[in-house]
Amino acid sequence: MSAARAQSSTRERLVAVMLRIGLRIVLKPALSPNVPVAWQRWWLHQLSRSARPARGVAIQSGVIGGVGGEWLRDPAATAKGTILYLHGGGYCAGSPATHRAMTLRLARTLPVFAANYRLAPEHSFPAAVEDALSCYRALAEGGPVVIAGDSAGGGLALATALAARQRGIKPPAALVLFSPWVDLALPQRDELAKGDAMLSASWLAACARHYLAGTDAADPLASPIHGDLTGLPPTLIQVGGDEMLLSDAERLRDALQGAGVTVRCEIEPARWHAFQLHAGLLPSATAAIARAGEFIASVLQDGD
């Protein structure tokens, strides 16, 4: 290993250690059923301000299909199509602004519309699916659309693809799922949660209750891993090796393969939930989003 490469590897490890400690101190305690949802939202917004911007990408508010959100556009992006991005936050928190570390970099491949879909507990299932589908339907009228999302947004991206098929709407060109939460019915995650720097099993369970509001957790549009996955487009899954939703990603990979869907699942060793949020700070996170962009460009090129 060259001296420069060794130095880069050492820096990556040190940054990862510092970020992991920081998450355990400033974020994980806030993502708790004992903390009011309104305060969780406010705190996530404050933390998102530390994200490093991506140069040259313009941000503009917009409304698509009756749903508000923001456009992120890079004039240097040459591929044709759009990314519909659905942010994470357990269906209860988060916003387009809190996930710009991801969307700003995805915009280097395609224009991104980050939807500000309705959140629980004020708006329970299926409000988020209805909003995402409305955005997708409107965007799809203008050309190919890739649906991407992280955590709950990853599950929502998959659910949106299923809902589009149910309504007879043409399928997305691809799905990009970062640490997707695809099974709200899974009761036991305590063992998996021990190594996760961000999530707790109790917080996920509380978010599921808020979102479902009495709906069966196995409903395919709430827990899309329980749906019929045949006919879905090429799918990229990225997940951290140390996170609680690793099992969701692995089960989804297997289910997609069993349904004959082209799927690539990247497991990043020693990384936590939605580690891509640290793009710009953590080299492996920046590289993961770059690979997602390459996947999107490749799928669109193959579809020409």
Peptide bond into 126 cis (omega under 30): yes
Contact 198, 278 (CB under 8 A): no
Q: Report CA-CA distances (Å) from 129 to 48, 239, 247.
A: 25, 23, 23
CATH number at residue 178: 3.40.50.1820
Domain count along the chain: 1
pLDDT at 304 over 90: no
Structure tokens at 160: 């949106």
How far apart (Å, rounded) are the C-alpha atoms in residues 78 and 297?
10
Residues in the chain: 304
Please pick, among 95, 151, 179, 223, the residue that the annotation labels catalytic: 151
The alpha carbon torsion through 177, 182, 187, 192 (nearest 10 deg) reads: -20
- The pLDDT score that the predictor gives to residue 201 is 86
Considering only CA atoms, which of 133, 76, 132 is closest in space to residue 105?
Answer: 76
Give the distance from CA 99 to its chain's centroid.
9
Considering only CA atoms, which of 168, 179, 162, 174 is closest in space to residue 225?
Answer: 162
3-state secondary structure of 260: coil
- Calculate mean pLDDT across residues 20-47: 94
Please pick, among 268, 273, 278, 284, the residue that the annotation labels catalytic: 273
pTM score:
0.95
- 237-276 tens-digit pLDDT: 999 998 989 999 999 999 999 999 999 999 999 999 999 9
Percent with pLDDT over 70 in the chain: 92
- The pLDDT score that the predictor gives to residue 79 is 79
- 213-222 tens-digit pLDDT: 999 999 999 9
Segment holding 69, helix H or strand E? strand 67-73
pLDDT at 163 over 70: yes
Long-range contacts for 265-269 (Cβ within 8 Å, ≥24 apart)?
Answer: 265/237, 265/238, 265/239, 266/236, 266/237, 266/238, 266/239, 266/291, 267/239, 267/240, 267/241, 268/238, 268/239, 268/240, 268/241, 269/241
pLDDT at 190 over 60: no
Structure tokens at 63: 């409304």
How far apart (Å, rounded) are the C-alpha atoms in residues 86 and 248?
18
Average pLDDT, rounded, for the chain? 92
Structure tokens at 79: 């591929």
Please pick, among 210, 243, 278, 284, the residue that the annotation labels catalytic: 243
Burial 29-49 (b: 16+ CB within 10 A, else e): ebbebeeebeebbebbeebbe
Segment holding 145, helix H or strand E? strand 145-150
Considering only CA atoms, which of 143, 149, 109, 108 is closest in space to residue 131?
Answer: 149
- The pLDDT score that the predictor gives to residue 173 is 98
- The pLDDT score that the predictor gives to residue 53 is 66
- What is the span of the domain harbouring residue 282? 3-303
pLDDT at 200 over 60: yes
Clarify whether 226 is annotated catalytic.
Answer: no
- The pLDDT score that the predictor gives to residue 5 is 56
Specify the residue for token string 């970062």.
178
Clarify whether 50 is annotated catalytic.
Answer: no
Q: List CB contacts of 28: < 8 A, sequence separation 6 or more.
A: 197, 198, 199, 200
Report residue 117's pLDDT band, with 50, 70 and 90 as the boundaries: very high
- Calculate mean pLDDT across residues 192-200: 76
Among 6-10, 41-45, 201-205, 298-302, the range scoring the smallest mean pLDDT is 6-10
pLDDT at 128 over 80: yes
Clarify whether 268 is annotated catalytic.
Answer: no
Report residue 193's pLDDT band, with 50, 70 and 90 as the boundaries: low
- 90-116 tens-digit pLDDT: 999 999 999 999 999 999 999 999 999
Considering only CA atoms, which of 100, 88, 93 is closest in space to residue 272?
Answer: 88
